[in-house]
């Protein structure tokens, strides 16, 4: 019997940059558990990664935010300028909005905090390749806390949803009003990419898949009028 075999999709080609060898090896080991991902290059500085990309032609680059000889943000800008289709994920110990927004503004397709479970890295890369702006926040603070353990006081009244930040709640309300990402970005004076990032977090926290489900959830729970 000679049934034709389905065409197989080639594995995603990933290059990694981190100036700590233990972190570099840990990321590589985590990605090697995924049959659809191939690590094609490693670097320990921004300069090395800029030289490596033309050589190995990765689909995705994972960049440490803090590196010598070309930090993650400056390297990100150069990579995006020279390779506009390349997906770049920033890896960092910082989870504050300033670092995240700056990475997204410069064209990062994902932002991963170093406390993430390494086993979640393959799925993070897949989501980025599928076109989602992805933020993997790691295991540190629990829902309702800011990084560093400071409790977020949300009040006890109606219209509060545990786990949503004030910015995410504002965006959810604007989505429920029917505004597009472009219109929300203009209203809040941020980049449209930043809105996509916040919406991906809203969907994840609410357990919904799209704007329609998020709007329905918001009205059902009294988060909007």
Last residue of a domain, one of 136, 157, 180: 136
- Look at residue 4 and tell me if it is in a domain: no
Q: Are residues 16 and 94 in the same domain?
A: yes
pLDDT for res 155: 31
Between 75 and 194, name the one with better pLDDT: 75
Report how many domains make up the chain.
2
Residue count of the chain? 225
Taking 70 as the threshold, does the pLDDT of residue 4 lie above it? Answer: no
**Is 145 a member of any domain?**
no
Whether residues 76 and 124 share a domain: the answer is yes
Domain that holds residue 180: 166-220
Say yes or no: 128 and 23 in one domain: yes
Residue 191 and residue 91 share a domain: no
CB atoms within 10 A of CB 137: 17
Residues 6+ positions from 102 with CB-CB distance below 8 Å: 73
Q: Which helix (H) or strand (E) holds 202?
A: helix 192-206
Of 117, 136, 155, the one marking the end of a domain is 136
* Structural domain ending residue among the three candidates 116, 136, 156: 136
Q: What is the pTM of this model?
A: 0.61
């Amino acid at each position: 019997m000679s049934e034709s075999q389905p065409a197989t999709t080639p594995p995603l080609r990933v290059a990694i940059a981190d100036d700590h060898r233990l972190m570099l090896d840990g990321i590589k080991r985590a990605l090697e558990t995924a049959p659809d991902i191939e690590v094609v290059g490693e670097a320990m500085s921004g300069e090395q990664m800029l030289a490596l990309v033309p050589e190995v032609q990765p689909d995705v680059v994972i960049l440490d935010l803090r590196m010598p000889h070309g930090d993650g943000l400056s390297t990100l800008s150069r990579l995006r300028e020279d390779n506009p289709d390349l997906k770049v994920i920033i890896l960092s110990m910082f989870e504050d909005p300033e670092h995240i927004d700056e990475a997204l503004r410069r064209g990062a397709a994902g932002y991963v905090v170093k406390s993430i479970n390494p086993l979640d890295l393959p799925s993070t890369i897949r989501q980025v390749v599928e076109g989602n702006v992805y933020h993997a926040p790691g295991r540190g603070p629990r829902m309702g806390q800011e990084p560093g353990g400071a409790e977020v006081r949300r009040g006890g009244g109606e219209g509060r949803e545990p786990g949503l930040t004030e910015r995410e709640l504002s965006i959810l309300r604007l989505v429920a009003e029917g505004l597009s990402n472009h219109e929300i970005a203009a209203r809040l004076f941020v980049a449209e990419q930043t809105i996509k990032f916040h919406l991906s977090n809203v969907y994840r926290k609410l357990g919904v898949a799209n704007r329609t489900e998020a709007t329905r959830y918001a009205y059902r729970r009294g988060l909007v009028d």
